[in-house]
Structures are given as structure tokens and as C-alpha cells.
Amino acid sequence: MSSSFVYASVRTPFGRFNGALADTRADDLAATALKGLLDHSPGLDPGLVDDVFWGNANGAGEDNRNVGRMAVLLAGMPVSVTATTVNRLCGSSLDAAMMAARMIEAGDAEIAIAGGVESMTRAPWVLPKPSRRFPAGDVTAVSTTLGWRLVNERMPAEWTASLGECNEQLREKFSISRERQDEFGARSHRLAAEAWAKGFYDDLVVPVPGADLAQDESIRPGTSLEALAKLKPAFRPDGTITAGNCSPLNDGASAVLLGSASAAATIGRDPVARIAGRGWAALEPQQFGYAPVEAAGDALERAGITWDDIGAVELNEAFAVQSIACVDAWLKLGLRDAEVVNAKGGAIAIGHPLGASGGRILGTLAARLVESGKRWGVAAICIGVGQGLAVVLENVA
């Protein structure tokens, strides 16, 4: 089998819930990222893209009807370009990139695009259909923004606990203090603000038409431990998880251009990273925050390297507690330095629009490898209902 490579990546700035991107539809966000990616590779004829894989976690509103295909059409690509939409919740766009890479490696494609989108602001309320035509009682509208909804009664209660409660359980299991979580959250904001100030994200982020947003909206440069310590627990009265040490609700999109080695001439640029290994794992649903440990281990094994070789890690920060648990485990497995994890900030500051985050961390990882000259990196993400994904990149720039 041949190898697959990352050639380019972009994303929109990530907006806050009810923030600067609230008036932008999910399919328009997707089209913005897709068009921005193509604009970054002007030598590529869009009609030569063999397939588009697009991640999306909800799909219950304006992102319905195969939002990947909607993005292709709205971005002005030829109608002959095919697209599919992938749903692995928070891992959707990383899963999309893995699928695109497999297609290239199998020889079924030379060039593919992967990406993802989520508008958590515009996710609709849904009503279950009644069992009778005219029910006498009230019907409750359920929000599709985040988490379980319309739960199957046969599911064990411990599996369908809230995301926050699941991570409080993880905190108890690994004895991770509130102070460590707040320190991790403050670090995320500080490093993200520094990365923006130094221009790291300038070439990775494209503006959204009609929106007044130049940078990620959730970043708070002056976040201090003192301020975070004053926040009340969000999920348990005596808990440790707050709005300051977990990712917010966000809107945004990301896109990644992948191709074979021989696609460089068609794309008009050289690749920056090789997809060297992929991993996927599943645990009990309530332990989803720890699943990246298993997934990353499998990805490293498939790449033929160990944690000792890794020079950069992008781990999606759904919660500080699960991020700390993963990093602690990786340090025990041979990762040399915790500071290589999310050195440009993470989702606690940047944001976590569910379907877009996998593409963001993959693109950021490739850019970090190019900037640092390090050879190997890992992108990993936890996924609700007990799953995790990871990709190993090799710097070829």
C-alpha cells in the first residue's frame, strides 16, 4: 500500500456559544473552511478532488442532509465532487481524515479532503413523534447541543451519565485535584493567546464572511488561577469541574487536504506530514475521557515508534481532568515532557465545536512539527460514549 500525506489545513476561528458566529449556518461554516483550504492551494483544480469526508456530530438542524455534500456545493466546487458525512461525535473530523487517508493508501484516490463542522449555538430542539396522533399531555422539546438525548431505557444509567459527571468519576479514580485542573486550564488560555500573538495561527485560520471575528472567541489571555478558583462546580455541589477547566460550547469548522506522494504535482505544493499510524479504542461509556490513552498506544504501535520518539502532541481538551489523566499515563509510558502537549493552547481556550475539533488538532499538529523540526507527533481525541481516536504524523517538510 502507498502512503498518505497531509498537504494543507485551515479552520475558521472558533466562536463562543451565542457569540460572533451565531448567525452563520453550519453548512456555511463548512463551506468557508472548504473554500479556504482550496484557496491555500491555488494550483489544485477542485474537480480533481476524488472525495470529501466531513465530520459532524449532531446533524439535527441546518447541518442535515449530508453537510459534507452541502459544503462542496456551497463552496463552489464542481457538482461532480462527491462527499460523505461522518459521525463519531467529538472524533468525527479526525475519523474523516483517517477514512480519507485509508482511501488514498488503498489506491482508490489520489487527493481527498477531510474536515468537520459544528454550530452548537444553532443546534435545534427536537420533539419525539407521539405514539398517537393527538396526545393529551405536554411534549418536551429536547436540546441537541450536547450530550445524551431521547435515551433508550435499556441503557444502564451509569453509561448515560452527563459528560461532566463522567469526568468527576475519572477525577476520583485518578485523584486529580481541582488545583491541577485549574492550572491546566490557565495554561491553555496562556499558550493559545501567546500562539495567536506570535502569528502561529495566522496561516491556519480563515475568516468567516459576515462575521466580525478574527481570532478564537473563547480565549481569555488574562486568565489567572485566582479567578478560576472562584468558579463554582458545574456538575456536583462538591465537585471540581467548572466552566474554567473544561471546554466551552462553540461554533466552527476545519478542513485538511490529503493526498498521495505523487499528488504533489497536481496539488502544486509539497506535503508536510505523512499519516504514519492510526488508532481507535473503546472503553465503558463513562470512561470516554481516558480512551485516547488506548487509541494513541495503538497508533504508535502501527507507526512502529514509541512515546520516547514523540516531539509534539495535540490532545483535544474536552476537560482538564481527562487531559491530565491521559498525559499522566503517557508520561509513565515514555513521553519525555508534558510541555510538548498542546504547546499552542487547547480546546479549553480555543474551543470545541464537536465535529470540527479533530481536523483542528490534526492541522495544528502538522504545523507544529514543521515549526519545530520535530519528526513525530500524535493527535488524539476523546469521544462521548466511551471511544477515542489517534493519529501519528511524521514530519516530511
352 classed as catalytic = yes
- Residues near 23 by beta carbon (within 8 Å), at least 6 away in sequence: 210, 211
How far apart, in whole angstroms, are the C-alpha atoms of residue 216 and residue 195? 11
| Catalytic one of 90, 166, 246, 326 | 90
How far apart, in whole angstroms, are the C-alpha atoms of residue 375 and residue 310? 8
How far apart, in whole angstroms, are the C-alpha atoms of residue 119 and residue 16? 10
Q: What sign for the dihedral angle of Cα 293, 298, 302, 306?
A: positive
How far apart, in whole angstroms, are the C-alpha atoms of residue 236 and residue 231? 13
| Catalytic one of 40, 166, 246, 352 | 352
From start to end of the chain, where are the E strands?
Answer: 5-11, 15-16, 51-55, 83-86, 111-119, 125-126, 142-143, 250-259, 273-282, 310-315, 376-383, 387-395
- Helix (H) / strand (E) containing 36: helix 26-39
326 classed as catalytic = no
With contact defined as beta carbons under 8 Å apart, do 38 and 32 qualify?
no
Cell digits of residue 70? 452541502
- Strands 51-55 and 83-86 turn out to be parallel
How far apart, in whole angstroms, are the C-alpha atoms of residue 5 and residue 257? 8
Per DSSP, the three-state class of 181 is helix
Q: How many CB atoms lie within 10 A of CB 238?
A: 6
With contact defined as beta carbons under 8 Å apart, do 359 and 256 qualify?
yes
90 classed as catalytic = yes
With contact defined as beta carbons under 8 Å apart, do 176 and 154 qualify?
no
268: left (phi over 0), alpha (psi -120 to 50) or beta: left
How far apart, in whole angstroms, are the C-alpha atoms of residue 293 and residue 322? 10
Per DSSP, the three-state class of 260 is coil
Residues with catalytic annotation? 90, 352, 382
